Amino acid sequence: MTEGKLLLVNVPQKRWWKAPFKLLGFFLMTGVTAAVVVYAFVSWKYSAGLPDIPKVDEYRPPILTEVYTVDGVLAGEFYNERRKVVPYERIPKRLVQAFIAAEDADFFDHFGVDLVGTARAAFKTILKKVAGKGKVQGGSTLTQQTAKAVLISAEGYKESTAKTIKRKIREALLARRLESELTKEEILYLYLNNVYLGHHSYGVQSAAENYYRKDVKDLTLAEMALLAGLPQAPSNYSPFKDAEKAKKRRQYVLGQMKEKGMITLAEFDEASKAEVSVYPVEDIFHQFSPYFTEETRRDVVNRYGNSALLNDGLKVFTTMDSEKQRAAQEAVLWGLLAVDKRQGYRGPVMQLSAKAEQDKFIEKSKKVMGASEIEPGRYYVGLVSAISKDALTADVTIGSKVAKLPALGMRWAREVNGERYYPTVLINNVKPLKLGDVIIVRAVKDKKGLTDDKEAWSDSLAAEVPEGVALVRLEQEPEPQAAIVSIDPHRQYLSAMVGGYDFDANEFNRAFQACRQPGSSFKPIVYSGAIEKMGWTEGTVLVDSPIVYDDPENQNRWKPANYDENFKGEVLLKEALVNSMNIPAVKTFIELARFLGKKNEVIGIAAINDYAHSLGFSTPLNPDYSAALGSSCVYPYELVQVYATINRLGLKKPTYFVRKIEDRFGRMVEDHTAYDDAWASLQDRVASGYARLFEPGEQVMAPETAFIVTDLMRGVVQGGTGAAAQRLGKPAAGKTGTTNDSFDAWFTAFTRDLVTSAWVGYDLNPHPLGKYETGGRAALPIWLAYMTRALEGRSQPEFAPPPSLDLVQRRIDRKTGRLASSGKNSMTLWFKRGTEPEDSEPEKGAADANTFLQVP
């Protein structure tokens, strides 16, 4: 440095504009740090217990259980959430686009959470909580909505839909996890199978079925747009509730799709013009076969639990044949209406005497009917508005239409009186009706439809029926009840079952739950015991004469009588059953009790009770001789199973009403398929047929006994109390049953391939069915109507014993039970070899009739 000279040094000048940036950076770093800290704290505080992210290939949401008939008809559905899961590949691309356009246009660009929307929702939720102002807000991406569905599935609906900050934070945290662990397509797959779309519809497949009765892949663009508009407010935009509002919402979705280039202008215009047309949600359960399907539900719940039924997506294939089931339901309805009309007319639904009341009823009726015409075959509620001077016709106003009710259409409508024989009390006018009566009528095509009852037809009244007008006939809600049970004995299938007139009115299943007196339907069991245990035969001679039974314990005296109150003296066992004689049945029961109890009748009756239980009954026999006449109650389902055991020549096997059950993946849970079931797959038939080899059943009655009992009941149909069953045109064997005062009427009978029982009676027995309402008159027509349709086109062989049975046939004299000397006054009977009679008194010069019988 030179002395005296000043040294200059460059001092950097401070740049004032850098300070704000440093300050900003500081705050940013601090904010990020704070955000990280807050996020870490929130995650720590609220993520505890969050459900695991579902793996797509292990996705198991609740899905519906379906119940099918044996021939593949859907008979019922059970669910907590009506959902059907479909692969993402099966969901149309346009439907995916519609939901994205409507709910989350930036779905493929965001990281799962709409921060602005969530913050706004949180702020307004706080406002609502604190100040009581504003609405509780949503604000969710599709990912957040999916997260919400996962939470609902794991934690329940109430907790996972609560309008709280905690719930929104947990939802957002789970949404982030979904985005980090799943692809966008996988999230969409979860969302579209979970989203609630109203009317029990969870997921797009369920919605497509409920609203349009289509598979999701078959939806039109307009239908897709309508569904995509529903998640925001399914009830508010429901096309059932407000079609116009649903259409506006659909238009919004279509507009969004057009703006985002998802559809063309032409597609937009075409979809916009489409009418909003949806189907009401089908109530398959109530419409098809409620009694059978409900019994199936009870069985599945008892064995697998209610949760499995409602959530696990089982496929339950019943043994119900849909055509037989329809035939059974129609037969029960037809038969009950016929029985009920024979009881008499109980009066109108209501009586409107005031003109103002009548006018009001007609106005309501007009609204219901609209412009519809009166259609033949349909039931209507109408008002009696005029009665002709000669009382041969009545005018019935139905909406804006007027129909004629001729006297021929209500000949049955006399005053209720069960003591008088129906055909003798038919009426010839419409006088039971009064002006202002509200009545049930059925429209008919012509005068021939005015009555189904041949006994009620009248040519003279038919001639008075007016021409060229709408005709109706009088109906009433039946008071009696009925049940029908039909079993395929060889496949062991319950083919059809009806438990009552109207499931909606009364769910009590009389086929399974009503314990009723079988009356004479129990006599074949009594005679089978005598043949099996005591070696009796069809030709055993019984004495039909009065008997009195004193019961010292109960201090009463019982004097049974035959239905016709006559006595025939000595009769063969077969004639006693064929003609349903009471005295021989009681005497047989007494002899069987003494034989089994070694003269101790109390022990003997207990032994008969054990025998009946071995055949398949679960209810106890009354501890007295009235049990011979069916005084002990039985369940129709058990009675028909016992007859099925007789049909199988004494081999008792279980009857199934669930053929097989599969889980949601199609894996077999149980299988009872018959090897010859034409509706089942070959795989099921082979596998289950092999399994049945290890279920041989239990031989509870000698095959020879069972065949002889079948032959006895064959006689009932050929010429006894069940003779009307010959109209089936196919060989049948069975027995009528009628209890004291006709409280219960039965007909249980079978062909080779089908065993069916029909019962008619009252639930609480307010009064008898009627003095003349026997099993052959009240129940047999129902059996016949059903069997005629069930066996249509199917030949049935005559009953013949297999060659392995040790049986012989003999011609027997009807009076003595000995070998007949001629064909006159004789009958051919079956015997176990060694029990056939050997003595005969041939007429002089006559050949022995038995020479010409083929004996095995």
DSSP 37-55: HHHHHHHHHH-TTPPPPPP
pLDDT of res. 147: 85
Q: Would you call 849 helix, strand, or coil by DSSP? A: helix
Nearest to 165 by CA among 135, 111, 129, 141: 129
- Give residue 855's pLDDT: 36
Asked if 541 contacts 817 with a C-beta cutoff of 8 angstroms, the reply is yes
Q: Examine the pLDDT at 20 and tell me if it is beyond 80.
A: no
* Per-residue confidence (pLDDT) for residue 124, from 0 to 100: 60
Q: Which of 450, 396, 460 is nearest to 428 (CA)?
A: 460
CB 372 within 8 A of CB 399: yes
**Can you spell out the DSSP letters for 426-462?**
--SSSTT--TTEEEEEEEESSGGGG-S-GGG--HHHH
State mean pLDDT over 598-627. Answer: 95
Asked if residue 42 has pLDDT above 80, the reply is: no
pLDDT at position 22, please?
59
Predicted confidence band of residue 839 (pLDDT cuts 50, 70, 90):
confident
Distances (CA, A) of 474 to 348, 405, 450, 460, 713: 10, 7, 9, 19, 38
Tell me the average pLDDT across 11-19: 57
Rounded CA gap, 14 and 322, in Å? Answer: 95
Which residue's structure tokens are 């109890």?
A: 597
Instruction: Write out the two tokens for 405.
Output: 């009710």
Q: Quick one: pLDDT at residue 236?
A: 93
pLDDT at 280 over 80: yes
User: 739: which DSSP letter?
Assistant: -
What lies within 8 Å, CB to CB, of 316 at 6+ separation is 65, 66, 67, 68, 296, 300, 658, 661
DSSP for 475-536, written as a single string: E----SEEEEEEEETTTTEEEEEE--S-TTT----HHHH--B--GGGGHHHHHHHHHHHH--
pLDDT(462) > 60? yes
- pLDDT at residue 854 tops 50: no
Of 95, 88, 806, 760, the closest CA to residue 479 belongs to 760
The predicted pLDDT at position 25 comes to 59
What is the C-alpha to C-alpha distance for residues 707 and 641, in angstroms, rounded to an integer?
16
- The mean pLDDT value for 152-178 works out to 75
Active site residue: 66, 103, 295, 836, which one? Answer: 103
Please answer whether residues 414 and 425 qualify as being in contact, where contact means their C-beta atoms are separated by less than 8 angstroms: yes
For residue 77, pLDDT over 90 is answered with yes
How far apart CA 664 and CA 66 sit, in angstroms, is 10
Q: Which amino acid is at 195?
A: V
Give the helix/strand (H/E) hosting 811: strand 807-813
* CB neighbour burial string for 441-452, b if at least 16 within 10 angstroms, e if fewer: bbbbeebebbbe
Residues 6+ positions from 219 with CB-CB distance below 8 Å:
92, 95, 208, 212, 227
Mean pLDDT across the chain = 89
Of 440, 474, 434, the residue nearest 353 (C-alpha) = 434
Average confidence (pLDDT) over 48-66: 81
pTM of the predicted model as reported, rounded to 2 decimal places: 0.88
pLDDT at 107 over 50: yes
Two structure tokens written together for 301: 């719940």
CA dist 759 and 126 (Å) reads: 67
Q: Residue 618 corresponds to which amino acid?
A: S
How many CA atoms are closer than 13 Å to the CA of 847, on its beta-carbon side? 5
Q: Check pLDDT > 90 for residue 558.
A: no
**Dist. CA 687–CA 680, nearest whole Å:** 11
Spatial distance between the Cα atoms of 518 and 626, rounded to a whole number of angstroms: 12
Q: Between residues 352 and 177, which one has the greater pLDDT?
A: 352
How would residue 30 be classed by pLDDT, with cut points 50, 70 and 90? Answer: low
Residue 391, helix vs strand vs coil: coil
Instruction: Report the amino acid identity of residue 599.
Output: K
For the segment 139-144, the average pLDDT, to the nearest whole number, is 83
- Mean of pLDDT values over 488-501: 97
pLDDT value of residue 116: 62
Q: Write out the two tokens for 454.
A: 């041949």
Confidence band (pLDDT; 50, 70, 90) for 852?
A: very low
Mean pLDDT of 29-49: 52
Task: Say if residue 283's pLDDT is above 60.
Answer: yes
Residue 5 has pLDDT above 50, yes or no: no
**Active-site position among 140, 160, 206, 520:** 520
**Band of pLDDT at residue 554, cut at 50, 70 and 90:** low
Q: Taking 60 as the threshold, does the pLDDT of residue 136 lie above it?
A: no
Is the pLDDT assigned to residue 48 strictly greater than 70? Answer: no
**Pairing relationship of beta strands 315-318 and 65-68 according to DSSP bridges:** parallel
Q: Please tell me the predicted confidence (pLDDT) of residue 227.
A: 97
Confidence check: pLDDT of 481 > 60: yes
Token match 């539900």: residue? Answer: 297
Q: Find the range with the poorest average confidence among 217-221, 451-455, 809-813, 839-843.
A: 839-843
Asked if 520 is an active-site residue, the reply is yes
DSSP 65: E
Q: Quick check: 853 pLDDT over 60?
A: no
Query: Residue 112 pLDDT more than 60?
Result: yes
Percent of the chain residues topping a pLDDT of 70: 88
Residue given tokens 């002089």 in the structure block = 844
Quickly state the pLDDT bin for 8 (edges 50, 70, 90): very low
Using DSSP, state whether 837 is helix, strand or coil. Answer: coil
CA nearest 407: which of 326, 473, 358? 473
Instruction: Report the range of poorest mean pLDDT among 27-41, 233-247, 518-532, 557-571.
Output: 27-41
Please report which confidence band the pLDDT of residue 7 belongs to, taking 50, 70 and 90 as the band edges. very low
**Identity of the highest mean pLDDT range in 49-63, 540-554, 639-653, 685-699:** 639-653
What percent of the chain has pLDDT above 90? Answer: 71
Which pLDDT value is given to residue 772? 87
The string of DSSP letters for 98-137 reads HHHHHH-TTTTTS-S--HHHHHHHHHHHHHHHHHS-SPPP
- pLDDT tens sequence across 355-400: 999 999 999 999 999 889 999 999 999 999 999 999 999 999 999 9
Of 436, 504, 455, 418, nearest to 771 (Cα)? 418
Q: Could you report the per-residue pLDDT of 637-676, keeping only the tens digit for each?
A: 999 999 999 999 999 999 999 999 999 999 999 999 999 9
pLDDT of residue 557: 79
Model confidence pLDDT, tens digit, residues 253-264: 999 999 999 999
Label residue 553 by pLDDT band (50, 70, 90).
low
Q: Please state, in angstroms and rounded to a whole number, the distance separating the CA atoms of residues 197 and 234.
A: 6
Once rounded to an integer, what is the mean pLDDT over residues 217-232?
96
pLDDT in tens, 420-441: 888 899 999 999 999 999 999 9
